[in-house]
Amino acid sequence: MSSVEPTLGWARWRRSWWYHAVFYAQTWRGSVVSSVLFPVFYLASLGIGVGHLVAHHHGLVEGQTYLRYIAPSLLATTTFQLGEGESLWPVLASVKWIRVYHAAAATPLEPRDILYGKLSWVVTRSFLTGVVYTAIIAAFGAVESWWGLTLPFIGALITLAFAAPLTAYAARVESDASFTMIYRFAFVPMFLFSATFYPISAYPGFLRPVVQLVPLYHGVALVRAAAFGQGSVLVQLTHVAVLGAIALAGVAWGRVTLRRRLVD
């Protein structure tokens, strides 16, 4: 009567990826408006408005007009926001409020399949967003190197570096009370102070090492270097290593928390 034989793990998590893809296909409209209009507004406002002031008082920023200078960082901040936005509330809802992860855990999927499916979908979405953003940034003239082709991949890495640990965290909490605090006291400062809107050299010397501890800083530095084709490859690999390490640690943590939540 049964017609199902389980297959290897790699095949199982694809089934979870499919769930997220179908879900997104049904509910994408709102997010597309925000993810296409937001960068255009952002560049128009800051790039043209503030850029005008900067040009007037300061001239170029690291050899770029202000608009071009900040355009790549938009990809970093957006993929960061995608990572956090897809992780905290949606994950808590899935394990506690609507419990769809519990429903999935009653099928051949293991908790790690659910985790990999979720994260791989978020990364897929981030990559696709990165492609669109790269085109928008290029349209503003801010992609000057073939390294710019790596921008969607960098965006995906940034997303994973946030989505993985935040998914792990959301899978272990009982309420969303801490999320607002994280948002206010971690995400907003990170968005503002990751050398997003000006070079790290604008900070006093003693603050620079602090900024370098902020994960998003490494994403911002990477996208800027890729867009302009500047900086040493070794330094960029360091940024990749930092983000990669956070992502891997997040995945490992997520395997533990999701397993505890769904199975134990």
Residue 102 CB, nearest approach to another protein (Å): 6
Question: With respect to another protein, which residue has the nearer C-beta, 28 or 41?
Answer: 28
CA torsion sign, 11 to 13 to 14 to 18? positive
Do residues 186 and 211 make contact, with C-beta atoms less than 8 angstroms apart? no
Q: Where are the alpha helices (DSSP H) in the chain?
A: 9-27, 29-42, 51-57, 66-85, 88-92, 100-105, 111-139, 151-170, 177-182, 188-193, 208-212, 215-228, 233-262
Residue 101 CB, nearest approach to another protein (Å): 8
Question: With respect to another protein, which residue has the nearer C-beta, 6 or 63?
Answer: 6
Question: With respect to another protein, which residue has the nearer C-beta, 1 or 234?
Answer: 1
Residue 32 CB, nearest approach to another protein (Å): 16
Residue 99 gets the label, from left (phi > 0), alpha (psi -120 to 50) or beta, of: left
Question: With respect to another protein, which residue has the nearer C-beta, 97 or 183?
Answer: 97
CA torsion sign, 27 to 33 to 36 to 38? negative
Residue 260 CB, nearest approach to another protein (Å): 11
Return residues touching another protein (CB under 8 A). 1-7, 11-12, 15-16, 18-19, 22-23, 26-27, 98-100, 102-110, 262-264
Question: With respect to another protein, which residue has the nearer C-beta, 4 or 213?
Answer: 4
Residue 79 CB, nearest approach to another protein (Å): 24
Residue 83 CB, nearest approach to another protein (Å): 21
Question: With respect to another protein, which residue has the nearer C-beta, 23 or 41?
Answer: 23
Quote the distance between the C-alpha of residue 1 and its chain's center. Answer: 44
Which two tokens mark 126?
Answer: 């981030």
Which amino acid belongs to residue 137? I
The neighbour count for residue 55, using CB atoms within 10 Å, is 14
Q: Which of 108, 70, 33, 119 is nearest to 224 (CA)?
A: 70
